[in-house]
Amino acid sequence: MEMVSVGKKVPNFEMEVYDPKTRSFGKVSLEDFIRERRWLVLFFYPADFTFVCPTELADLAEHYEELTQLGVEVISVSTDTKYVHLAWHQSEKLLENVTYPMGADPTGKIARMFGVYDEDTGLALRGTFIINPDGVLVGSEVNFYNVGRNAEELVRKMKANVYLMSHPDEACPAKWEPGRKTLKPSEEIVGRVHEALG
């Protein structure tokens, strides 16, 4: 399977999930989110019942409501099965506020599609992927096993991406937050970005 690149359409995929909200198993596909015109964040992590992973999922849970208000669905994904997700969610106190779906990718097919499958371990690296409502990959971040992510930065990136979807002629500078000045790329601001932001 060909690895998807930023700026390209993501091939449709389907995966089983454990849904902590309903305490039930289900299936999701990328086509569902495109049809509903929703953003999708895939949050890959190495494995259930490990060390850094529950801290990341708990941090993400703290920002989940803010993300859903932006029209985003989040799915955490590992190579564990849906059954292991259920058992981990029930036993790990850090996951008590996790209500987003937990995706199961036991064959590593989806992790391979996004280039985060580690053939040596059978686990996924820490990868965060943002897919827009057209099914295009617009954001990609990959960390090694030992460095956890910060969900606040994901929220900031999502606000910028949502804004730019409806303002395609603009660009968001570093640390951009809603209400701050954006850039309108043109020959007039080449070498004069300081003035354009002033």
pTM of the entire structure? Answer: 0.96
DSSP 87-150: HHHHH-GGGTT--S-EEE-TT-HHHHHTT-EETTTTEE-EEEEEE-TTSBEEEEEEE-TT----
End-to-end CA distance of the chain: give it in Å, rounded: 47
Extract long-range pairs of 115-124: CB within 8 Å, 24+ residues apart. Answer: 115/3, 115/4, 115/142, 116/44, 116/142, 117/79, 121/46, 122/79, 123/46, 123/47, 123/78, 123/79, 124/44, 124/45, 124/46, 124/77, 124/78, 124/79
Q: Which DSSP letter does residue 8 get?
A: S
Residue-level pLDDT at 6: 98
Sequence-distant (6+) residues with CB within 8 A of 106 are 79, 80, 81
Average pLDDT, integer, range 57-70: 98
The rounded distance, in Å, linking the Cα atoms of 16 and 53 is 20
Q: How many CB atoms lie within 10 A of CB 94?
A: 15
Structure tokens at 85: 């997700």
| Interval 115-170: pLDDT, tens | 999 999 999 999 999 999 999 999 999 999 999 999 999 999 999 999 999 999 99
What gap in Å lies between CA 55 and CA 150, rounded to an integer? 10
14/186 Cα distance (integer angstroms):
41
Q: Show me where the domains of the chain are located.
A: 14-166, 168-198
Query: Is the CB of residue 139 less than 8 Å from the CB of residue 157?
Result: yes
Q: Give Dmax over CA atoms of the chain in angstroms.
A: 58
Q: What is the CATH number of domain 14-166?
A: 3.40.30.10
Percentage above 70 pLDDT, the chain: 99
Query: CB burial class (10 A; 0-12, 13-18, 19+) of residue 3?
Result: exposed
| Residue positions annotated with a catalytic role | 53
Mean pLDDT over each residue of the chain, to the nearest integer: 97
Q: Does residue 186 surpass a pLDDT of 90? A: yes
List the 137-143 sheet strands across, edge first.
Answer: 24-29, 14-19, 102-104, 72-78, 39-44, 126-131, 137-143
pLDDT at 198: 86
- Tell me: pLDDT of 1 over 90: no
**4 pLDDT exceeds 80?**
yes
Amino acid 2: pLDDT: 81
